[in-house]
Amino acid sequence: MELFEPLFGSPALNELFAPRTQVQFLLNYEAALASAEAAAGLIPIAAAQSIAAHCRVELFDLEALAKATRLAGNPVIPLVKALALLVSADDTSAARHVHWGATSQDVLDTALVLQLRQVLDLATDGLGRLAQSLTALVEQHRGTVMIARTLLQHAQPTSFGLKAAGWLTAVRRAAARIAAVRQRALVLQFGGASGTLSGLGDAGLRVSEYLASRLGLLLPDLPWHTERDQLVEIGTTLGMLAGTLGKIAKDLSLLMQTEVAEAVESRRPGQGGSSAMPHKQNSVGCAVVIAASLRAPGLVATLLSAMGHEHERALGAWHVEWETLPELCRLVVGALGHLNEICASLSINTARMAANLELTSGLVYAADLAGALAPTLGAGSHAVVEELCHKARVRGESLQNMAAQDPRIVAALTREQLREVFTTAHHLAAANRLIDRALQK
């Protein structure tokens, strides 16, 4: 699917999961393993140095490795054989120590964790930039009144600053979840053939400690070959992030509709056009983010459904993760990049927001009117205002004019009190109190 990579992916993710990079991560594990075993006194230091010297991806035929993977079932088996041959050409005795005490899943799982660490780094950086853009929108538009929409209908006045503050707080929660999962899930995998490290005798735990240190990973209590919750937690965290990004993009896309026109996405030449209609200016960025948010749940569901690994090593369930997690990472980081581009240069049409607020001729103040009447009319205030709203629609008049002519309302409210009902001041004041809380965080 290389044609769509530039659209849905990102250059950093494409490089991170490219074959050369993936193989280098596998080799990094083998080099670190040899170094750890030398530090534990299990193999000669010279052997570890010889192994590390050959753990360079440019020394390997990746096409041949891919073909061998089809037969072997995973790339580690042919990679280890090729590495041993390379080392043997220079140091026959050192070749005997290649991959000593490890199993294929140790290498593949840890390499994936190392890649996921970089994914989380990219996501953290992207969320930081997005939070900056959203903070700027909140501060700039805390006084920009607009209509709130519930069930896609006009509800009551709010501010664009408060809407953006909602996005901002969601982004911050996403960043906090990523920070938390980093502290739990970036763990070494090293258990050997059956998860006991028996091949290393009583030195297994020492080698594990050295290996985790060299790779900069947490040392788990036990090997986790068939306990996948930590890895899947990264996937679910990314899935939730996709949902957060999708919510923001959905809101923005609705604000950009021709009939609404309250937001405008800046465009570069050739972006968002139509092959049939020269006038079209489609929101490509929002489309990609929404698409990612719709695809991510299925990938997360796949990871969750594959958690039931049997006994000490799984047949098939483990293999499910190899393409699913990278695809999820690609979509989420790619979507985050698109949303950052949108929010960094988003234009808000404040005049259109003000105009749209008046589309219903004051009906959006109906709840305020009912609240003002409640001390006098009690529970019946809602029915009175509902009746007035119906009449206003039928006659094509404003709700404020209808209210000013109704004897029940004239008896309950002064002219000044009625005028205050049909203003946005109290809505804006309430929104600003919430915005202050969001910004203080």
The beta strand positions in 145-197, using DSSP E, are 145-150, 153-159
The DSSP bridge pattern shows strands 145-150 and 153-159 to be antiparallel
Q: According to the 3-state scheme, what is the secondary structure of 39-72?
A: HCCCCCHHHHHHHHHCCCHHHCCHHHHHHHHHHH
Three-state DSSP class for 157?
Answer: strand
Number of Cβ within a 10 Å radius of residue 45 = 12
Q: How far apart are CA 380 and CA 382, in angstroms?
A: 5
Residue showing tokens 């193999």: 43
Concerning whether 313 is annotated as a catalytic residue, the answer is yes
* Cβ partners under 8 Å of residue 208, min gap 6: 36, 188, 190, 197, 219
Which residue among the candidates 117, 149, 267, 313 is catalytic per the annotation?
Answer: 313
> Which candidate in 93, 266, 274, 305 is catalytic?
274
352 part of the active site:
no
| Contacting residues for 311 by C-beta, under 8 A, at least 6 apart | 226
- Helix, strand and coil in the chain, % to nearest 5: 70, 5, 25
- d(CA 297, CA 282) in angstroms, rounded, equals 25
Q: Which residues are catalytic?
A: 274, 313
